[in-house]
Each structure stands twice: as structure tokens, then as C-alpha cells.
Structure 1
Amino acid sequence: MGVALRDILSDYKNPAGWDKLSGKGAFDGNNALYQFLTTIRQPDGTPLMDREGRVTSHLSGMFFRVSNFLEKGMKPVFIFDGRPPDFKSDTIKERREAKEKAEIAYKRAVSVGDTQEAYKQARSATKVDAEIIESSKRLLSLMGIPVVDAPSEGEAQAAFMVINGDVSFTVSQDYDSLLFGAPKLVRNLTVSRKRKVRGRTITVNPEFILLPEVLFGLGITVENLIEMGILIGTDFNEGIRGVGAKTALKIVKNDNFDSFIKEKAPEFDPYPVKEFFLNPPCHRDYNLKWDKTDSDKLFEMLCEEYDFSHARVESVLDKLNEGAGQKTLDQWF
């Protein structure tokens, strides 16, 4: 879900042309998989599947879009979540229950032929399970893409790697990367380029946000930004009812965070959450090595094992191996 900072970040979103996206990018792997699984579906919400009924939407998104990133000169690395902190248990439980309800609603919609409702509920019921993660890691390995298993939150590990100078930016749809101190966050690389909003279709373009610009423009510190997140609600706490981004900004700029928490949520101790954002568990000894694509094994995995189109996979592999061809984002999204 992530922290709801959108209302105060509109002035700090910059268009991300490929000249801004070359270099090494740390992708929030779980977030990317969720985006692929929710967007790559049939009109009735059914995901792509092979002949055995195994979901392949995530593999399709990972292979075709990551191939495009490679063609454009990006060196992606994917970071996957480790063990969540104990105070995230309530959020995990709520999400699990919401997905179970959505699954029931999806089956009901299918039974009555309500395609639109089925699609909506299918997206809400999306799960990223161990099998999906492991098959994605195997695919990335065959593509020569490094994978890092974070000790805890993937976004925290990605942010650390940018701060450490080993990658240039993080890639995620969530704004949590900023709370973990990521200097540069890139969004909209793993989502569908076209989206329906209130009955009309809009184009979603890649964008980047620079944390120093946000902090300077809002007149706050990273600690203030974390405090805002806590007031609004993060993956680790539910927030204060009625407090949005603009209200939270006023509270922290007036130095009223502590008093506001004591008044509105006297039973809640915000400092374990704050400390987690400031000093999250991160690996320091990760290995970032980009290898050549193993075309034979990739073809075997995607086409022989998961029933992908031979022609489409061959076309992509030829371009990766030859380093030729200039496709636009529109052709992949």
C-alpha cells in the first residue's frame, strides 16, 4: 500500500526520459511483481496462465519489460523482501483478510457474469506467493540480472544501495522509499502505460522524485517526513484518523508531532516505527554482477515450461543478444 504522500509531492515529480534512467536501478521486487500480476490480466480478471493452470503474468511482465530496460541501457537489480518487522503483523493480517474477501467477491461476480466487477475484485485479490517469487528469481538469473534478498523491507535495502552509491535510483510505485532516505525514486516503470480513471483513459508516464528537492521545497527534514508518514499511516501503523498529507505537513512544521500523537493516540508509541525507517536492517555485502543472458535456458523455461510464444521470446532474445533495435515504451506496456 505505501504511505499516502501524493497530495504534497505533485510539484516534485519530474518526467523521466531514458536519459535519466540509464545506469543502475534498484527495483522493489515484490512491488514490481504485484504491479505485473494486477495489470497483466484478461478483461474478466483472469491472469495469464500456462496449460497446467500456473499463473504466468509476472513472468510475462518481468521478461518483456526488463528486456526493454536492458535495451535502453539500464542495469536493473531486483530486491526482494525478507522478514517483516513484528509491528507489521497487523497490516499483513488486514491485507490477507481483504484479499480473501476480494477472492469471494471475484467468484461471485464470475458466477453472475459481471465481467467488470470480476476484473476489479481479481486485482484486489492479487497475491505474491513463494512460487511466484522463486520463478521470478530464476527468470532474472537466466537474464543475467542480479537479485538481492533483503533482511527485511526491500525498499529499505534499495534505498541503502542508492545512498551507498552502488546504484543510481530506486524503482517502486510506493513512496516509502523516500522515508527510508532514497535520494532518487523512479515510478511508473512497472505499471500499464494506459489507465482508466473515471471512465476515461489516461497515459501514465515514468517520473522521478528527488528527495533533496522535496525536503528543501517543503522545508522539512527526513525525520519530519517519517513523522508525516506515521501520522498519515504506513505499512507499520494505521495512522491518525482524518490526517492526510497536507495536515501532517502542518503538524510537523509546527513541531507538534509528539503532542499530537499523545493527544490522538496515547496508547501508540511511534518511535519503534520511526527508528525502523531511520535505521532499517540492510545487507552490506551484496553482490551486484550483471551476466550475459542465457538464451537457451530462458527459451526452455518460458516456452517449454510455461508455454510462452516461441516467436515473441525469440524476437526479444535476438535483440538482447545482438544489442540492436530501438523499441519505444509503448510497444511493451
Structure 2
Amino acid sequence: MGVALREVLTDYKVPVGWDSLSGTAAIDGNNALYQFLTIIRQQDGTPLMNSEGKVTSHLSGLFFRTARFLEYGIKPVYVFDGKPPDLKSTTIAKRREIRDKAGTAWKVAREEGDVAESYKQARASTRVDEWILSSSKELLTCMGIPFVDAPSEGEAQAAFMVRKGDLDFSVSQDYDSLLFGVPVLVRNLAVSGKRRIRGRTITVEPEKLYLSKILEGLGISRENLIEMSILIGTDFNAGIKGIGPKTALKIVRNNAFQETLDEKAPDFDPEPVIDFFRSPPVTEKYDISWQNPDESALRDLLCSRYEFSAERVDAVLTKMRTTAGQKTLDHWF
């Protein structure tokens, strides 16, 4: 998902500790939920569920991770995608096909008792649907955490809010945020910690990327970064076969973007994609005020309805109170 810029951004990733991330943050909500649903699963890939079969993996990730944000002084605002642009229709169709195939393969793997393959296909079948979104927003409301429904791409809305100065940084795994002009991007906040990848355990730590330093270091403009991404391929266009990040960087440095398109993709018009990254639909009508958590509502939602451990939920609430240095959460925000 997102544009494959990792190869040229490695030198501009700044490892950071949780203690240095205090501030206000725009969280790519769909991205975070997708991560929670992908990672928080049982060995055979089955997500966490209550006795009625309602998936709760996303609620577990959202509750415990948001509590950790607060513990370290990070005040989050979750930003959710709105209507996808027509430019994204091909990408959406391909992702749906991949998820559907993975869902079928997951079922076969479970029937055959292949636990490793079952887990792999289950992760690939992850989807964020309307119920996942509505239940997540209900949880955030109970926690007193604000969220914003973007008119289109959530990353674009998050970047706008940070550029406007209403928030300090944006949190997403995708590099697209940089194309939308976010000044500071933080990655790995939703997935930091120990993870098993391809049979081995790795440590995933938070990292910061500063757009200004990236552009200065690469010797390009934000417009060039968008051009590079178009050559590589984005959610809104297929890219040109054989062109990766390093080649794309050379092309834009040599002012050969249009020349390359004329030669390799003469029928493709890049302007709609460029315009979308430059001026995406965003809204200025949002409320980012944090409220006191409703502990009673949280216990009812998580423990009574979704059968979370009352001890674990209470332990989080107690830890939040202790961190705040007070007996209640009245002054947490």
C-alpha cells in the first residue's frame, strides 16, 4: 500500500524514542486499523472475537495503543478516509481481488490444518469495513479521543492539519503522506515492539521523517517527489515497468520526467495525479478537542459487550491515572 519510496528514504529516517514524541498527532485511522487487524490474530489467523463472533482485534489494538500514546504525552486525533477518488478505482479493485483470493486460500488452509499458511492468508485477507470503522469511532468517543472524517484521503487531511499548525506531526506507515506535504511523518507507532516476520523476531521502533530534510538531501522539490512517485507507481496510477526509486530520482534530477513519460507511457496524462497530491479535497471543519474518558462507558463497551478482560481494562485506566499523577482523569487533558 502506498508508494514504494523506501529505498531512497532510508538515510532520512530518524530513530526516536517514545519519550521524545510528546505532542499532538494526526493518526491515519484506516492505516492503524488495518495494522491492528492484520497483526492481532491467533496462530491460525483467526482474529480476536467475542462469543457472538464479532471481531475485536481492532478494538484491542486501538484501546491499548491509544492508552500508550496518552501515557507518553501523545495526544492523538484519528483521521479516517472518506470517499476514494475515481483515480483510485483500479487500485481498490485489485486490492479487493487479492483479499478475496486470500480469504478463499485461508479457508482451504484451515481445513487442511496448515497453520502457517492459514496465518499468512488470513493476514492478506484483512479488510476495514463499515462495522470496523463505526465500532472504532464508538470506542474513541468513550475514550474522549477526537476523530475526523476526511472528505477523501485521510493522509491528505492529516497532512493539511499538520501543515496548518493544528497538530505537530502525522502518523502513518505509508510514505504518501510526504507527497501530500506533511512536514513531519512518524512511522511505526501502531506496530512498534517485537514482531515475527518470515520466521524471525525483529524489533520495530518509531522513526521520524522530515520532509524539508528529505527534499534538501535528495536535491529535489516536493513536485519532483510527486513526479518520482508517479514514475514508480502510486495508488492512483500504475507507474512505468522497470523504474524504481533510484532510477526515478535520476530522471527527475535530470528534468526528464515528461520526456520519460512521452517515451514510455505516451497515452498517460500525469496532471490529474499531480493535482490530487498538490490540492487534495480536505475540510477545515473539524473539532480536535480532547475530553475526559468515560470509564463506565468504556467498561460497558469493552468488558460487557466485547468481553475484554475487566482486569486488563482497569489496569490500563489505573495506569493512565498514575501517569497523570492524580486520582481521577478529570485533568488528563
- TM-score normalised by structure 2 residue count: 0.96
Question: 1:121-270 alignment to 2 at 5 Å?
Answer: 121-191=121-191, 193-270=193-270
Between the aligned partners of 1:17 and 1:191, the Cα distance in structure 2 is: 14
CA shift for structure 1 position 20: 3.0
Q: Partner of 1:44: helix, strand, or coil?
A: coil
Contact 1:293 1:321 in 2 (8 A): no
Between the aligned partners of 2:191 and 2:160, the Cα distance in structure 1 is: 24
Between the aligned partners of 1:68 and 1:173, the Cα distance in structure 2 is: 18
Q: Partner of 2:247: helix, strand, or coil?
A: helix
Structure 1, unaligned stretches of length 5 or more? 326-333
Between the aligned partners of 2:197 and 2:288, the Cα distance in structure 1 is: 39
Contact 2:18 2:206 in 1 (8 A): no
What's the counterpart of residue 329 of structure 1? none
What is the identity percentage for the equivalent residue pairs of Structure 1 and Structure 2? 63
CA shift for structure 1 position 324: 5.0
CA shift for structure 1 position 197: 3.9
Between the aligned partners of 1:244 and 1:213, the Cα distance in structure 2 is: 21
CA shift for structure 1 position 322: 4.2
CA shift for structure 1 position 292: 0.4
Amino acid at match of 2:212: P
What's the counterpart of residue 110 of structure 2? 110
Between the aligned partners of 1:24 and 1:199, the Cα distance in structure 2 is: 36
Structure 2, unaligned stretches of length 5 or more? 326-333
Amino acid at match of 1:204: V
Between the aligned partners of 1:277 and 1:21, the Cα distance in structure 2 is: 27
Contact 2:192 2:206 in 1 (8 A): no
CA shift for structure 1 position 265: 1.1
Quote the RMSD (CA, aligned, Å): 1.1
What's the counterpart of residue 61 of structure 1? 61
CA shift for structure 1 position 284: 1.1
Between the aligned partners of 1:18 and 1:46, the Cα distance in structure 2 is: 30
Q: May I ask how many residue pairs the two structures share in their alignment?
A: 325
What's the counterpart of residue 328 of structure 2? none
Q: Partner of 2:14: helix, strand, or coil?
A: strand
What's the counterpart of residue 308 of structure 1? 308
Contact 1:39 1:192 in 2 (8 A): no
Amino acid at match of 2:290: W
Between the aligned partners of 1:113 and 1:140, the Cα distance in structure 2 is: 37
Q: Partner of 1:203: helix, strand, or coil?
A: strand
Contact 1:188 1:207 in 2 (8 A): yes
Between the aligned partners of 2:112 and 2:177, the Cα distance in structure 1 is: 41
Q: Deviations over 1:261-281 (max 9, x none)?
A: 121111211110010000011
Q: Partner of 2:26: helix, strand, or coil?
A: strand
What's the counterpart of residue 291 of structure 1? 291
Between the aligned partners of 1:197 and 1:27, the Cα distance in structure 2 is: 24
- TM-score normalised by structure 1 residue count: 0.96
Q: Partner of 1:140: helix, strand, or coil?
A: helix
CA shift for structure 1 position 15: 1.1
Q: Partner of 1:122: helix, strand, or coil?
A: helix
Between the aligned partners of 1:251 and 1:194, the Cα distance in structure 2 is: 38
CA shift for structure 1 position 319: 2.2
Deviation beyond 6 Å, 4+ runs, structure 1 = none
